[in-house]
């Protein structure tokens, strides 16, 4: 389990949790629900050949050769897919346009890699600041907004 800012872009990032304990509990629940192997995933340590869940028929046996690691890992990735973070779909930062003809204003909210960088009234001479730390709340707010509001988006170079 890693902080999201330390995960390379080409790796799968699954879920956003407020603590390592919550993340581990989610993973244990996922393991049980999908009959994955906690021993293979490094969450169970014992000296027996098969894990405890295999004895209870809650594991398909990747720990003791009853299931291949290839099949186990394929099932793991399938289980992860519904929880994976959405990859940043743009090549660079974007500006989300907020405007109101009634109140005669136009503001550009600058976002990059799911991180809010600030707001400006003009895009001229815009300098993109270094990325702040990833915010779980900002990510979730942005995802919901982009899926539901259909805003005007300008990709910045």
Over residues 102-113, the pLDDT tens digits come to: 888 899 999 999
**How far apart, in Å, are the Cα atoms of 50 and each of 24, 58, 129, 141?**
21, 12, 51, 43
Paired tokens of 27: 């993973």
- The reply to whether the predicted model has a pTM over 0.75 is no
- 109/145 Cα distance (integer angstroms): 13
Residues 52-63: tens digit of each pLDDT: 889 899 999 999
pLDDT of residue 151: 94
User: What percent of the chain stands above pLDDT 90?
Assistant: 46
């Amino acid at each position: 389990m890693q902080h999201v800012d330390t995960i390379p872009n080409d790796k799968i990032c699954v879920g956003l949790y407020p603590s390592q304990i919550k993340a581990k509990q989610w993973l244990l629940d996922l393991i049980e629900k999908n009959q994955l192997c906690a021993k293979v995933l490094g969450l169970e340590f014992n000296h027996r050949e098969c894990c405890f869940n295999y004895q209870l028929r809650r594991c398909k046996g990747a720990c003791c050769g009853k299931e291949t690691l290839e099949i186990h890992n394929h099932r793991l990735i399938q289980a992860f897919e519904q929880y994976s973070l959405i990859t940043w779909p743009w090549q660079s930062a974007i500006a989300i346009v907020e405007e109101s003809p009634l109140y005669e204003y136009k503001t550009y909210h600058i976002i990059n890699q799911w991180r809010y960088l600030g707001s400006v009234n003009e895009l001229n001479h815009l300098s993109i600041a270094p990325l702040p730390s990833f915010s779980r709340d900002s990510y979730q707010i942005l995802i919901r907004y982009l899926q539901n509001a259909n805003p005007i988006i300008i990709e910045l170079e």
